[in-house]
Structure 1
Amino acid sequence: MIAHIRIPRMVSRASAVSALTVAAVGGTIAVPGSPPEAKATATTVAFKALRIAASQRGAPYVYGAAGPHRFDCSGLTQYAYKGAGKPLPRTAAAQYNRTRPITASSRTRGDLVFFHGSRGVYHVGLYAGDGRIWHAPKTGTVVRLERIWTRHVSYGKVR
């Protein structure tokens, strides 16, 4: 179900864009007149990190870059979590070692998704829900939302 929200003129464009970003990553926002049981999931560190990663949509991939305008995969996750108040190490493998392993059934938006190959962890992104991640894929691409393309992944919750 898609909810249509009328945004009053007094709301700034930036506020409207922020609300749309929250909606795009699957969060909830407080809307005047909404029921009191609607929770503001945007307050968790993981959700803040996810929102920050999503706000970088379209930023170019550059190997070794950690923002604010260019990213590689672990640079994006590091940047997003630092902005949410949780520092992470620089590489995907070091981030893997810093997180608490969780099962696929217990993953939530903003958890880290680690991709494994024969040489270990080679890629990382932020879980966005519905089998998708925000990530910086590879040279020649940009930060984007994409379906998880393999079963060779594990999940980690940032401590």
Structure 2
Amino acid sequence: MLTCKPASDPESSPDAMASRRMLLGSGLALLAGASLLAGCGSAPRKTRTSQRRRSGPAGTVPLRTSTPEVAVINPVQIDATLREEAVARALLAVNVPYSYGGNTLEGGFDCSGLVQYVFSGFAGRALPRSTAQWARASLPRDIGQLQRGDLVFFNTSGTSFSHMGIYLGNRQFVHAPSSGGVVRTDRIDNSYFAPRFDGGRTVFL
């Protein structure tokens, strides 16, 4: 069963990994030393493009506003008093390794497996497993109404709702991003996720 396609963020993309391997094979130590000296000598040059894209704290960009719709089928309904417990469970998973199809602290997580783990035992019913199933089992939430514990979705593979995480507030979310990575927090409005944002949704009553 399709669970959650890894988010191909720049830190863990195949191209980036291949580039790192090539650098290692051709004298990484020398290059790293030169880079370090160059980086210490001057601040990064600001371009008009980076200045134009900024809309808030440094490095943030506007969220995509055209988000896909999905029919809600048999929504998961969880008591809103459990929001903070859900967030605490999600944060306990930070630094657990990514594992495709994983949904346990011991075996690792993919993105929808992390969400399934966080809400297990809260709903009194079988929970969705794939990102698309979670989208159909949750209610849309306007970005200005997102609360801690709500769900955020992204299109990271050319398919709507292909990646998800749990909202922490202040435009931050926790998720299991990609192979070779670990569960971590990121901003929904960073340069990678903002243009891929598929909207926020909730399972809380």
TM surpasses 0.5: yes
- Structure 1 gap ranges (5+): 1-42
Q: Per the alignment, in what secondary structure is the counterpart of residue 164 of structure 2?
A: strand
Equivalent residues in 2 for 1:15-54, closer than 5 Å? 44-54=81-91
**Aligned residue number for residue 36 of structure 2:** none
Shift of 1:57: 1.1
Runs of 4+ residues deviating >6 angstroms: none
TM-score, normalising length from structure 2? 0.53
**Aligned residue number for residue 99 of structure 2:** 62
1:142 has 2:182 as partner: yes
C-alpha distance after superposition, 1:33-72 (max 9, x if no partner) = xxxxxxxxxx822221111010111100000001132100
Q: Quick check: which one's strand share is greater?
A: 1
Q: Over alpha carbons, which structure has the higher Rg?
A: 2
Letter in 1 for 2:95: G
Contact 2:166 2:174 in 1 (8 A): yes
Root-mean-square deviation over aligned CA pairs = 1.6
Contact 2:112 2:130 in 1 (8 A): yes
Query: Aligned to 2:160, which of 117, 120, 127?
Result: 120
Shift of 1:116: 2.6
Q: Per the alignment, in what secondary structure is the counterpart of residue 146 of structure 1?
A: strand
Worse-matched range after superposition: 145-154 or 100-109: 145-154
- Structure 2 gap ranges (5+): 1-79
1:76 has 2:114 as partner: yes
- Matched residues, percent identical? 36
